[in-house]
Amino acid sequence: MAEENADRTVARSWLLLVVVTVLVGLVGFVAIFILGAQITEHDPTETFFEASDVFVQPDAEWNTTIFVSKSPETREIRRLTWLVVLISVGIFVVVEGLLVFAMIRYRRKNAETTGEPVQMYGSNPVELAWTVIPILIVVTLCLATVRTIHSVQPTAGERPENSLTVEVIGHRWWWEFRIPEYDVVTANELVVPVQRPIWLELGSADVIHSFWVPELQGKMDAIPVKTNYWQFTADEVGTYLGQCAEYCGTQHANMLIRIDVKDEADFKTWATNQALPAPNETTPSAVNGRKVFLEYACQNCHGVAGLSDGNFAPDLTHLMSRTLIAGGMLPNTIDNLKAWVENPQAIKPGCDMPALQLSKSEIEDVVSFLATLK
Ligand code: HEC
Ligand SMILES: [Cu+2]
């Protein structure tokens, strides 16, 4: 009787092995199918997340979401994410299913009819099953991950011919962007052309930062001394928000990124304007403000083309073309500029701009001057 039971159990475990192997094979096949599909192919989950207010709030001031992909690179990353989720859910269902089955089948109430479950030791098929299946799963995940990394992460020599190079330099706590092709230097807010590969060369002026605009690309470290390369091609015109993703000091949370993707003509207009020197100020207050700018230490830290070449702090040549200041903390309004110049430490404690103890009229004047930097 006991022997008969043991035989049945062995037969059952073989059956289990076959079923699970087939299931894993199926999942692997689906995975390879999904990964192998053309990246231009429509992804139905995208529409779902884009339409879902939970993940994307169109009116929110600052909204970064990993659920919407607006570049081929993020689509690849998302596909990998779904593969991992799919496999994990599969494992969960199988393991929990077996657990629940065992709990019901062998619960105490059934003990008189079914007895104790057959106690086995050293069953080859079972041992094989729980060794081989996890290995298969891990290998599948590993291959898929390597494949995705390889396809989204460029190396130094892979810069596409038609790409636009942007140098990205992380500072505590703001981002510097340079576009050598157009002589552009700006801070925190970058404009790039749509459907053209953007080639990023990342570095840092101090500690390690991480450049992350989730709708356009995954994270990439910006570190001192060594240049890291990163690349994305935006599908659509729009504004994409990001954030430093590597803790870099007290104001790390206020180190935001804003990328405006425009069509080629609008981008060129923007870039051409950014490359112009600061316009001549007109009002007496602005003329005074310019003096204040040169007399106080402002010019040592801030660059204004044609006036000063400080490069420790955000370039101010076209300050007024930006929507936010202080790493994304404040809308760029006259009142906020005044508050900022009066005491940056009250707004962004610990930041690298000191309160320069300007008088009320000096603040008025220097902000009138800043307001001419269009
Ligand atoms: C010791 C260097 C230093 C001096 C001097 C200095 N700043 Fe700054 N300033 C900074 C830094 C650093 C930031 C960026 C702070 C941040 O976002 O973390 C900044 C930010 C700003 C910003 C916001 C720019 C943006 O795009 O976010 C304005 C405007 C500004 N400074 C104006 C001035 C004026 C006007 C003066 C002179 C009265 C001045 N600064 C003096 C270092 C300096
Ligand atoms: Cu940071």
CATH value at residue 319: 2.60.40.420
Neighbours of 32 (CB within 10 A): 15
Same domain, 108 and 202: no
Asked if the structure places residue 168 within a domain, the reply is yes
Per the CB < 8 A criterion, the answer to whether 334 and 316 are in contact is no
CA of residue 353 to ligand 1 center, whole Å: 5
Pairing of strands 228-232, 198-204: antiparallel
Residue 246's domain comprises 164-275
**Which pTM does this prediction carry?**
0.82
Verify whether ligand 1 is closer than 6 Å to residue 289 (CB atom): no
Question: Do residue 305 and residue 228 come from a single domain?
Answer: no
16, 90: one domain: yes
Q: Which residue, of 242, 275, 308, is where some domain finishes?
A: 275
pLDDT at 281: 66
For a pocket test of ligand 1, which of 171, 175, 302 has the largest count of ligand atoms closer than 8 A to its C-beta? 302
| Domain assignment present for 158 | no
Number of domains the chain is built from? 3
Looking at the chain, the whole-number percentage of residues with pLDDT higher than 70 is 87
pLDDT digits (tens, 9 = 90+) for 236-263: 999 999 999 999 999 999 999 999 999 9
Shared domain check, 181 and 219:
yes
Q: Considering the domain boundaries, does residue 357 fall inside one?
A: yes
Q: Let me know whether 173 and 204 are in one domain.
A: yes
Taken as a whole, the chain contains a residue count of 374
Of 374, 359, 366, the residue nearest 287 (C-alpha): 366
Q: Within a domain: residue 175? A: yes
178 within a domain of the structure (yes/no): yes
Same domain, 128 and 219: no
- What are the residue ranges in the chain where pLDDT is below 50? 37-42
CA 354 – ligand 1 centroid, Å: 8
Are 16 and 140 within one domain? yes
Residue 370 Cβ inside 6 Å of ligand 1? The answer reads: yes
Kindly state if the Cβ of 339 falls inside 6 Å of ligand 1: no
Question: For a pocket test of ligand 1, which of 353, 365, 366, 372 has the largest count of ligand atoms closer than 8 A to its C-beta?
Answer: 353
Judge whether 108 lies within some domain: yes
Strand 220-222 and strand 324-325: the pairing is unpaired
